[in-house]
Amino acid sequence: MNVIERFNKAIEFNAANPQFAPIDDEFLGTRINGGFVSDIIDNGNPCRCFVFDNGDHFVFDINEDMLYPAESFPQEWFIHKYLEKIIYDFKEKYTLSLRQVDNEGAIKEPFLFCNKREIELKSNGVVRLLPFRNQKIVYMTNILLPRDLRRQDIGLKLISDIFLVCEKLGYKLRLTEMVESFYNRMVRRGAVVITPYDEVEITSETKLGQF
């Protein structure tokens, strides 16, 4: 299979199996169906870079009019994109409860921010995640749901979804900066205490519920 055939196969496969949210990425570039495209300079030449959701990576040299295969991205590198997808889906499902009205009566959608270092859903600080790639730890430093979303186990479902992604990619999930009542609740559910009254780790033994 030559490089053109591999490229076309990557387009076909990833378009049919997109993994991430329809949001551009500051590093990967503009979101396309099942991948990202960006303009780069490689060895002094203007190029177009394609990175697909499954990690396939190609560079098209504009001056040479040539397509080259590039080193694939390991799935664990995409940790911020997987987390972004979870928060994006959460926002889409519960957006009515997260909307706010400004002083002029206009509806303001909750703002989703994501880069390689931080994922945050901003609506009075609803969710904040920090992936530390070197230590392979994801910290959840905020999970404050609007009042009408509480006591429905939605927060536990969100933690469970995030944990499953972390587990799949070899990351630990730790909760920190919690209020005391939530800290105690997580300890009762079997979260491992890392720092008393400050930090716990979610494991497969933590009882988050069945969803």
Summarize the confidence of residues 97-111 as an average pLDDT. 78
Of 25, 51, 73, which residue constitutes the final position of a domain?
73
**pLDDT class of 193 with cuts at 50, 70, 90:** very high
The verdict on residue 33 lying in a domain is yes
Q: Are residues 158 and 62 in the same domain?
A: no
Q: Tokens 């001056």 map to which residue? A: 63
Q: Are residues 88 and 54 in the same domain?
A: no
Q: Are residues 36 and 139 in the same domain?
A: no
Q: Tokens 């994801």 map to which residue? A: 138
Which runs of consecutive H residues, i.e. helices, occur in 37-78? none
CATH code for position 153? 3.40.630
Which H or E element spans position 181? helix 180-188
Q: Are residues 52 and 117 in the same domain?
A: no
Domain tally for the chain?
A: 2
pLDDT at 108 over 90: no
The verdict on residue 40 lying in a domain is yes
By the 8 A CB rule, do 131 and 116 touch? yes
The pLDDT, as a whole number, for residue 203 is 97
Q: Are residues 132 and 88 in the same domain?
A: yes
Rounded-to-integer distance, Cα 87 and Cα 128, Å = 9
Q: Are residues 90 and 126 in the same domain?
A: yes
The verdict on residue 209 lying in a domain is no
- Per DSSP, the three-state class of 29 is strand
Q: Are residues 68 and 118 in the same domain?
A: no
CA proximity to 52, closest of 1, 9, 97, 106: 9
Question: How many other CB atoms are found less than 10 A from the CB of residue 154?
Answer: 18
Of 53, 73, 93, which residue constitutes the final position of a domain?
73
Q: Tokens 């949001």 map to which residue? A: 23
Look up residue 181 and give its two tokens.
Answer: 């009542």
Q: Are residues 132 and 97 in the same domain?
A: yes
**pLDDT class of 22 with cuts at 50, 70, 90:** very high
Structural domain of 159: 77-202
Each residue's pLDDT tens digit, 170-180 = 999 999 998 89
